[in-house]
Amino acid sequence: MRGRSWTAVSAVLAAVAGVVGWAVTRAPDAEPVAGPQLRTTTAPVTRGDVAARVQVAGTLGFDGAYTVVNQLPGGVVTAVAAPGTAVVRGADLFAVAGVPAVLLYGAAPAYRDFAPGMTDGADVLQLEQNLAALGVPPGTVDRHFTDATAAAIRRWQKARGLSTAQRTGDLPLGQVVFLPGALRVSSASVQPGQTAGPGVQVLSATSTARVVRVALTAARQATVHAGDPVKVTVPGLNTPVDGTVREVGTVATVVAQGDGPPGPATVPMVITVTLPAGAPALDQAPVQVAITGARHENVLLVPVTALLAGEGGGYRVAVVDGAGRRLVTVTTGLFDEQAGTVEVTGDRLVEGVQVEVPVT
What 3 state SS string does 244-262 have?
Answer: EEEEECCCCECCCCCCCCC
Are 273 and 209 spatial neighbours (Cβ–Cβ below 8 Å)? no
Q: Are residues 126 and 140 in the same domain?
A: yes
Instruction: Report the CATH number at residue 127.
Output: 1.10.101
Domain's final residue, options 160, 189, 208: 208
Show Cβ contacts of residue 258 under 8 Å, excluding neighbours closer than 6 positions: none
Judge if 230 and 241 occupy the same domain.
Answer: yes
Whether the CB-CB separation of 122 and 142 falls below 8 Å is answered with no
Q: Is the pLDDT of residue 245 over 60?
A: yes
68 and 204 fall within a common domain = yes
User: What CATH number is given to the structural domain containing 309?
Assistant: 2.40.420.20
pLDDT of residue 23: 34
* 283 lies in some domain: yes
Q: Name the domain boundary from 258, 293, 328.
A: 293
Q: What is the DSSP letter of 222?
A: G
Q: How far is residue 128's CA from residue 105's CA, in Å, rounded to a whole number? A: 11
What whole-number distance in Å separates Cα of residue 176 and Cα of residue 191?
A: 20
Amino acid at 70: N
Decide if 354 is inside a domain. yes
Q: What is the pLDDT of residue 34?
A: 54
Residue 2 in domain: no
At residue 6, the pLDDT reads: 38
Q: 197 and 76, same structural domain?
A: yes
Q: Which residue has the higher pLDDT, 130 or 16?
A: 130
**Are 203 and 213 in a shared domain?**
no
Q: Are residues 184 and 216 in the same domain?
A: no
Q: What is the mean pLDDT of residues 298-322?
A: 93
Neighbours of 3 (CB within 10 A): 10
> Quick one: 155 and 242 in the same domain?
no
CATH number at residue 213: 2.40.30.170
pLDDT, tens digit (0-9, with 9 covering 90-100), for 206-218: 999 999 999 999 8
Final residue of a structural domain among 186, 208, 230: 208
Q: Domain of 168?
A: 112-172
- Residues 10, 220 contacting (CB under 8 angstroms): no
Please give the C-alpha separations between residue 268 and each of 56, 59, 303, in angstroms, as whole numbers.
Answer: 12, 12, 30
> Please, which pLDDT band fits residue 67 given cuts at 50, 70 and 90?
very high
215 in the same domain as 192: no
pLDDT > 50? residue 24 = no
Residue 168 lies in a domain: yes
Q: Decide: 53 and 77 in contact? Cβ < 8 Å.
A: no
CB of 346 within 8 A of CB of 332?
no
Would the pLDDT of 4 be above 70? no
Assign residue 196 the CATH number of its domain.
Answer: 2.40.50.100
Residue 82 shares a structural domain with residue 188: yes
How far apart, in Å, are the Cα atoms of 206 and each of 37, 49, 183, 187?
57, 41, 6, 10
**pLDDT per residue as tens digits for the range 326-355:** 999 999 998 887 789 999 999 889 999 999
Q: Is 157 left (phi over 0), alpha (psi -120 to 50) or beta?
A: alpha
Q: Give the pLDDT band of residue 19 (cuts 50, 70, 90).
A: very low
Q: How far is CA 252 from CA 13, 65, 79, 272, in A?
A: 21, 22, 43, 21
Same domain? 37 vs 163: no
The answer to whether residue 1 sits within a structural domain is no
Same domain for 243 and 346?
A: no
Residues 282 and 244 in one domain: yes
pLDDT (average), residues 4-27: 38
For residues 99 and 86, the answer to whether their CB atoms sit within 8 Å is no
Decide if pLDDT at 299 tops 60: yes
pLDDT per residue over 112-139, tens digit each?
Answer: 999 999 999 999 999 999 999 999 999 9
Whether 160 is covered by a domain: the verdict is: yes
Element housing 158 (H / E):
helix 147-159
- Counted domains in the chain: 4
- pTM above the 0.75 mark? no
Residues 6+ apart with CB under 8 A from 172: 113, 114, 115
Higher pLDDT, 280 or 154: 154
**Residue 323: band (very low, low, confident or very high) from pLDDT cuts 50, 70, 90:** confident
